[in-house]
């Protein structure tokens, strides 16, 4: 089974819709250790993406990802803009020209995406950032591919790993981004960026397994 271009577009739509619902929650998380804007930033970006979707629908998946990334870069601002912008632009480069993705392609895309986030933001694991949700998701995908697991099993494993990574940010002391200004006081709060990244991986799992039932 493969992920089609329509699946990719559905995923982006579902994620944008989820951000509308979770906007206040993400902003609450960011109030505790940041500046109360992560939900609004992500929502602004993905609303702009939605308005550009009609023009992307006949492109290849790589181009779709790159257009999403460029749109985020020019509409999100904050740390989220360059980070999520790089995430999608690098994912796009990894699957350039493809009209459908296997689990292995998706693993490559998310790996390139995560590398893009790391090279832009210089965060390492346990800095209490979105990297803490993305890295385990990539590892779970790669392991699933090497074990020859099905698409839905692989997606499920990656969502679970991202969720664990997100929850594991709670006790951490932030070393990157605004939350690092709080020092020890950042411990005890879940990172907003790790949360929005978990949603991204989790909606991929939910949307793509539903469409292949």
Partner 1 sequence: MKKLINKPEEVVKEELQGIELAHPDLVKVFYDPDFIVRVDAPVKGKVGIISGGGSGHEPMHGGFVGKGMLDAACPGAVFTSPTPDQMLAATKAVDGGAGVLHIVKNYTGDVMNFEMAADLAKEEGLEVEAVVIDDDVAVKDSLYTAGRRGVGLTVLVEKICGAAAEEGRSLKEVADLARKVNSLGRTMGMALTSCTVPHAGKPTFDLPEDEMEIGIGIHGEPGRKRMKLQSADEVVEMLMDPIISDIPYKSGDEVLLFVNGMGGTPLIELYVLYRKAVEVAEKHGIKVVRNLIGPYITSLEMAGTSITMLKMDADLIKLWDAPVLTAGMRKGI
Ligand X SMILES: Nc1ncnc2c1ncn2[C@@H]1O[C@H](COP(=O)(O)OP(=O)(O)OP(=O)(O)O)[C@@H](O)[C@H]1O
* Binding stretches for ligand X (CB under 6 A): 30, 34-35, 37-38, 41, 78-80, 83, 117, 121-123, 129-131, 176-178, 191-194
How many Å is the Cα radius of gyration of the chain? 16
Q: Which of 80, 92, 136, 192 binds partner 1 (CB under 8 A)?
A: 80
Q: Does 91 bind partner 1 (CB under 8 A)?
A: no
Neighbouring C-beta atoms of residue 50, cutoff 10 Å: 16
Question: Which of these, 39, 14, 1, lies nearest to 192 by C-alpha position?
Answer: 39
With tokens 């790159």, the residue in question is: 66
| Range in contact with partner 1 (rule: CB under 8 A) among 80-88, 92-100, 108-116, 197-205 | 80-88
Give the contact letters, 169-208, x = binds to partner 1 (CB under 8 A), - = no. Answer: ------xxxx-xxxx-x-----------------------
What does 26 interact with, of ligand X, Mg ion, partner 1, none (CB < 5 to 8 A by kind)? none
Q: Contact, 95 vs 108, CB < 8 A?
A: yes
Smaller CB distance to ligand X: residue 62 or 116?
116
In 3-state terms, what secondary structure has residue 175?
coil
The region that residue 101 occupies, defined by phi over 0 for left and psi between -120 and 50 for alpha, beta otherwise, is beta
Closer residue to partner 1 (CB): 104 or 182? 182
Looking at the Cβ atoms of 9 and 36, the one nearer to ligand X is 36
Please state, in angstroms and rounded to a whole number, the distance separating the CA atoms of residues 183 and 179.
Answer: 8
191 binds, among ligand X, partner 1, Mg ion, none (CB under 5 to 8 A by kind): ligand X
Token pair 């099905």 is found at: 150
Give the DSSP H/E element, type plus range, for residue 77.
none
Question: Which does residue 150 touch among Mg ion, ligand X, partner 1, none (CB within 5 to 8 A, set by kind)?
Answer: none
- What is d(CA 78, CA 89) in angstroms, rounded to the nearest whole number? 17
C-alpha distances in Å from residue 111, one per residue of 3, 75, 107, 128: 17, 24, 6, 19
Q: Rounded to the nearest whole angstrom, what is the least distance from the CB of residue 125 to ligand X in the complex?
A: 11
Q: Which stretch binds Mg ion (CB under 5 A): 13-21, 28-36, 59-67, 81-89?
A: 28-36
Site residues for partner 1 per CB under 8 A: 27, 31, 34-37, 40-41, 44, 73-83, 120-121, 175-178, 180-183, 185
């Amino acid at each position: 089974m493969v992920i089609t271009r329509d699946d990719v577009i559905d995923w982006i739509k579902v994620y944008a819709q989820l951000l509308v619902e979770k906007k206040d929650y993400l902003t609450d998380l960011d109030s505790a250790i940041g500046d109360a804007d992560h939900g609004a930033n992500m929502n602004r970006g993905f609303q702009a993406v939605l308005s550009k979707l009609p023009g992307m629908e006949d492109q290849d998946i790589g181009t779709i990802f790159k257009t999403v990334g460029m749109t985020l870069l020019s509409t999100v601002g904050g740390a989220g803009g360059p980070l999520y912008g790089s995430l999608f632009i690098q994912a796009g480069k990894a699957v350039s020209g493809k009209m459908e993705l296997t689990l292995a392609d998706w693993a490559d895309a998310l790996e390139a995406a995560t590398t893009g986030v790391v090279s832009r933001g210089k965060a390492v694991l346990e800095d209490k950032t979105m990297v803490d949700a993305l890295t385990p998701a990539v590892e779970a995908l790669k392991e699933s591919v090497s074990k020859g697991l099905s698409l839905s099993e692989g997606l499920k494993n990656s969502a679970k790993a991202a969720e664990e990574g997100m929850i594991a940010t709670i006790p951490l002391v932030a070393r990157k981004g605004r939350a690092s200004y709080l020092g020890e006081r950042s411990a005890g709060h879940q990172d907003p960026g790790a949360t929005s990244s978990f949603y991204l991986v989790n909606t991929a799992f939910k949307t793509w397994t539903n469409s292949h039932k």
